[in-house]
A and B are shown apart, each in its own frame.
Chain A
Amino acid sequence: MKKLIVLIIVLSISLFVFSKTITFWTTETESDRQQRINALATIFEAQTGIEVKVVPIQENDLLKQIPVAKNSGTLPDLLEGGIEPLLLLASSGYMNEDLTSKIIKDFGDVYPGASRLLSNGKSNFGIPFHAWVQGIWYRKDWFDGKDLGYPLSWHNILTAAKSLNNPAKGVYGLILPKKADSYAEQVFTEIALANGARPIDENGNITFTSKAMIEAFRFYKELNKYAKPGYTTVLDALKGYLAGEASMIFYSTYIMDDIAVEDVQKSRINSFDPKLVLNTGFANKMINIRPTSYGQMVGLGILKTSNNTEEVEKFVKFLMTPKNYVYWLHMAPGGMNPTRKSVAESSEFLDNPILSRYGKEKISEIVGALDSVERFEFVNGKVISDMSKLSANFVIGKAINYMFANNWTPQQTAEWAQKEAKRVLGK
């Protein structure tokens, strides 16, 4: 008995001393998602003996936590984040680009469009993990009744908003973001890019006061005439659409389960419309003078400070092997879309009540849009890292918020944004 106890103690001490632990910051903070991630981490530990410490961090707090972690020496080995924080970290020299590029090469089937969004032209600073596409979700049945066409062009969107707006009946043309947050910037990005407008050009000049940008602000303000009043946010848009208050909303593919699943919809608005999934259309592009799509690529970033590169590589590859990868992606069906071609086309991925409800064609269309996703951060193959700083300071969101609060003209709004951008960038 004594020998057994000694053996157990020796074994546990040696396990404690020799077993490796890696820290993984994830932005999937919801409890059901945490359960799945912890389950994956447990399986990984059982298979390899490597412990993964999963730390949930709010997406908006990611950049705030980095300086704190740097000072206290608690930086993670691996983190999950969108383009902006990864780009900002890469520009400060934090990312292990060699290992990242190697892993992408080893997979061999990552969509080039997805990979492009996390690359500086030479190497990758993040491994494309999953992605969503933003567009206009609209009431197909209401559009068909008035023969309005698809809400793809500025003209069609405005005409539909005007025609379907009926505040007396509690129905609005659309619900538009008007608060100073990242949702406002996401929506405005699509509108501006459809008009060829960018806040920073490829030479690094701030161009908020360009003619194309002022027109984009004008269009945004014009749309608001037919939008739900108030400083509406992303949650207002979601709830309003589900409750039949809005003809159109800008939203990502994360909305798919809210539209299709009874329990999810009831948790938002206390009722369920079984026909909503059939009556909903999705415009994944926008055009005024040029076509554009907007989306977010969520990547895995490996930090240069990590001493456990081998273990991190093993964990990333473990997460993205088909079985585990599909298990992860099904946390948010439709919202999390695969970046590996072999997985996107597999029947295992589509084997899900929500994804099968939308059908293979629709899902391929969504995943396919990833190739044409554009962002203010990338122009003609150049990376504009200053754009991430403007995003982190919500310059566009604030400009939109002030435009409505002070009833500024598009020109005044653009001038304020130009001044604010200069202040933030210290130019």
Chain B
Amino acid sequence: MVKYTSLKRKEETFGWKLISPTLILIGFLILYPVLYNIYLSFFKVSLNFGEKNTFVGIQNYLNVLSDLSFWKSFGTTVAFTLITVMGSILLGLGVALLMNKKFPGRSIVRGLLLFPYVTPLIAIVFSWKYVFLPIDGPLVQFLSIFGFNSGTDMINDPNNAFIVVSIFNIWRNFPFVYLMILSRLQSISDDYYEAAELDGASSWQKFLNITLPELYFVIGSIALLRGIWNFYKFDEVYLMSKFANTLPIYIYEKAFSGLPQQGVAASIATILFVVMFSLIGFYVKKVLKW
């Protein structure tokens, strides 16, 4: 008995030793910035030479929560996350179902579909901007054959910013969803479908009663991951249009442009952190049933 305990303890110590480099790294790279951010959110951060930061208590939080533009941005971000997550899942699911069927050249098409996701972002952004150029852009030139006004600049119009970044995000990220769903689809046993066919089930019934339940946890996990990523999405949105006004851009502008208000920006980041943490907790418990 004594022997067993000491062996167990040894194993435990060995385990801790193995994970300690990771723990230290996470501590430095994640925990420290998070804690420093929370600390900064209680200060008026001075950028003037020789002037120290002033402690302002929860004033930054009160300012943010009473600022109408924060709530507008918050609403925009929630809408952006919902639309893009649902859009990319629907598109990814549709494409995965198609790619699960056998047809000549399927492996080539499967590979080509990954391009939007694997091509460097900056290259794609510039390609999109080029394709949609008014007058000289290939798409506009093509559409003008059918009487479309070639002077319209769809992608750079600040009023279209939200739609443009949403469509762009769905298009760029659907291959990730498609890949995940396809790998799950391939592991569903054919026996289920054969049995259902014997019972006279229609295609829709098979999809609803076999495919969808089998995909439930995959789609749930994808929705969680994409939700977190898109809620904090900065690069794609900022490169496509600075007018999309989502929260990460709002924070960036508060923290770095013109008159930087780093304390305020830190408090917004903390609020987002708390909101996301609670949402993730709820989602994991209720939807993923962990």
Question: For B259, what are the chain A residues with a Cβ–Cβ distance below 8 Å?
Answer: 389, 392-393, 424-426
CB nearest neighbor in A for B256: A64
Asked if residues B158 and A405 are in contact (CB atoms below 8 Å), the reply is: yes
Q: How far is the CA of A393 from the CA of B51 in the complex (A)?
A: 24
Question: Given A229-B153, A230-B156, A231-B157 in contact, is the A94-B256 Cβ separation under 8 Å?
Answer: no
Docked pose: A426 CA to B156 CA in angstroms: 29
- Give the distance to chain B from A113, nearest Cβ to Cβ, in Å: 28
Q: Which residues of B contact A64 (CB under 8 A)?
A: 256-257
- 1/0 per residue, CB under 8 A from A, across B236-260: the answer is 0000001100000000010111111
Mark interface residues in A49-82 (1 if CB within 8 Å of B CB, else 0).
0000000000000011011001000000000000
CB of A307 within 8 Å of the partner chain: no
Given contacts A93-B49, A393-B258, contact A228 B135 (CB under 8 A): yes
Bitwise interface map of B from 215 to 253 toward A, beta carbon under 8 Å scored 1, else 0: 000000000000000000000000000110000000001
Is B47 in contact with A231, judged by CB distance below 8 angstroms? no
Q: Collect the chain B residues with CB atoms within 8 Å of residue A231's CB.
A: 153, 156-157
Select which of B47, B135, B257 is within 8 A of A230 by beta carbon.
Answer: B135
Classify chain B: how many residues form its interface, as a range. Answer: 20 to 34
Q: Are A405 and B258 in contact (CB under 8 A)?
A: no
Decide if A93 touches B156 in the complex (CB within 8 Å): no
- Chain A neighbourhood of B151, CB < 8 A: 229-230
Alpha-carbon distance A230/B257, docked complex (angstroms): 26
CA of A425 to CA of B157, assembled, Å: 26
Q: Is the CB of A70 within 8 A of B258?
A: no
> Inside 8 A of A127's CB, which chain B residues have their CB?
none
**Complex Cα–Cα for A249 and B172 (A):** 36
A330 at the interface (CB under 8 A from B): no
User: Which residues of chain B come closer than 8 Å to A318, judged between CB atoms?
Assistant: none
CB distance from B12 to the nearest CB of A (A): 39
CA distance A7 to B134 in the complex (A): 68
Decide if B257 touches A393 in the complex (CB within 8 Å).
yes
Which residues of the other chain, A, contact B158 by a CB distance below 8 angstroms? 180, 401-402, 405
Q: Which of A231-256 contact B (CB under 8 A)?
A: 231
Q: For B135, what are the chain A residues with a Cβ–Cβ distance below 8 Å?
A: 228-230
Within 8 A of A (CB), among B52-72: none
Let me know if A424 and B47 touch, CB within 8 A: no
Q: Choose from B48, B133, B157 the contact partner of A92 (Cβ within 8 Å).
A: B48
Point out the residues of chain A lying under 8 angstroms from B203, CB to CB. none
In angstroms, Cα B152 to Cα A187, docked, is 23
Bound Cα distance A77, B253 (Å) = 26
Is B50 interfacial (CB-CB < 8 Å)?
yes
Which residues from chain A contact B150 at a C-beta distance below 8 Å?
A: 229
Are B242 and A93 in contact, with the CB atoms below 8 A? no
A405-B262 CB under 8 A given contacts A93-B49, A228-B135, A392-B257: no
A179 pairs with B156, CB closer than 8 A: yes
Task: Tell me the total A-B contact number using a CB cutoff of 8 A.
Answer: 63
Pick the residue among B45, B49, B133, B262 that contacts A94 (CB under 8 A). B49
Q: Please, which residue of chain A has its CB at the minimum distance from the CB of B69?
A: A423
Contact A424 B133 (CB under 8 A): no
Cross-chain contact A389 with B256 (CB below 8 angstroms): no
Within residues 192 to 243 of chain A, which ones have a CB less than 8 A from any CB in chain B? 228-231
Selected contact of B256 from candidates A67, A93, A425, CB within 8 Å = A67
B159 at the interface (CB under 8 A from A): yes
Residues of chain B lying within 8 A (CB to CB) of residue A92: 47-49
Residues of B within 8 A of A402 (CB): 158
Inter-chain CA distance A390–B258, complex, in Å, is 7
| Chain B residues with CB under 8 A of A179 | 156
- A347: CB under 8 A from chain B? no
Tell me how far the C-beta of B44 lies from the nearest C-beta in chain A, rounded to whole angstroms: 13
Contact partners of B49 in chain A: CB under 8 A: 92-94, 304-305
- Cβ of A406 within 8 Å of any chain B Cβ, yes or no, is yes
Chain B residues with CB under 8 A of A70: 47
A94→B255 CA distance, assembly (Å): 19
Bound Cα distance from A401 to B157, whole angstroms: 8
Interchain CA distance A424-B159 in the complex, whole Å:
21
Residues of A within 8 A of B242 (CB): 180
Q: In the complex the two chains form, what is the Cα distance from A231 to B242 in whole Å? A: 14
Residues of B within 8 A of A390 (CB): 258
Please, which residues of chain B bring their CB within 8 A of the CB of A424?
258-259
Complex alpha-carbon distance, A424 and B260, angstroms: 11
Q: Are A93 and B48 neighbours in the complex by a CB distance under 8 Å?
A: yes
CA A96 to CA B10, docked complex, whole Å: 61
Name B50's closest neighbour in chain A (CB-CB). Answer: A93
Contacts of B262 in A (CB 8 A): 67
Chain B residues near A304 (CB-CB < 8 A): 49
Query: Within the assembled complex, what's the spacing in Å between the Cα atoms of A150 and B242?
Result: 38
Q: Taking CB as reference atom, which chain B residue is nearest A181?
A: B242
* B209 nearest CB across to chain A (Å): 49
* Interchain CA distance A228-B133 in the complex, whole Å: 12
Contacts of A63 in B (CB 8 A): 256-258
B133 x A230 contact (CB < 8 A)? yes
8 Å CB interface, B263-277 against A: none
In the complex, per-residue mask of A373-400: 1 if CB is within 8 Å of any chain B CB, else 0: 0000000000000000110110000000
A67 adjacent to B157 (CB under 8 Å): no
Known: A64-B257, A230-B151, A392-B257. 14 other contacts (CB 8 A): A64-B256, A67-B256, A67-B260, A93-B49, A180-B158, A229-B150, A230-B135, A231-B156, A393-B253, A393-B257, A401-B158, A405-B158, A424-B258, A424-B259
12 residue pairs bridging A and B, Cβ less than 8 Å apart: A63-B257, A67-B45, A67-B255, A67-B262, A70-B47, A93-B48, A179-B156, A230-B153, A231-B157, A389-B259, A390-B258, A425-B259
Enumerate chain B interface residues (CB-CB to A < 8 A).
45, 47-51, 133-135, 150-153, 156-159, 242-243, 253, 255-260, 262
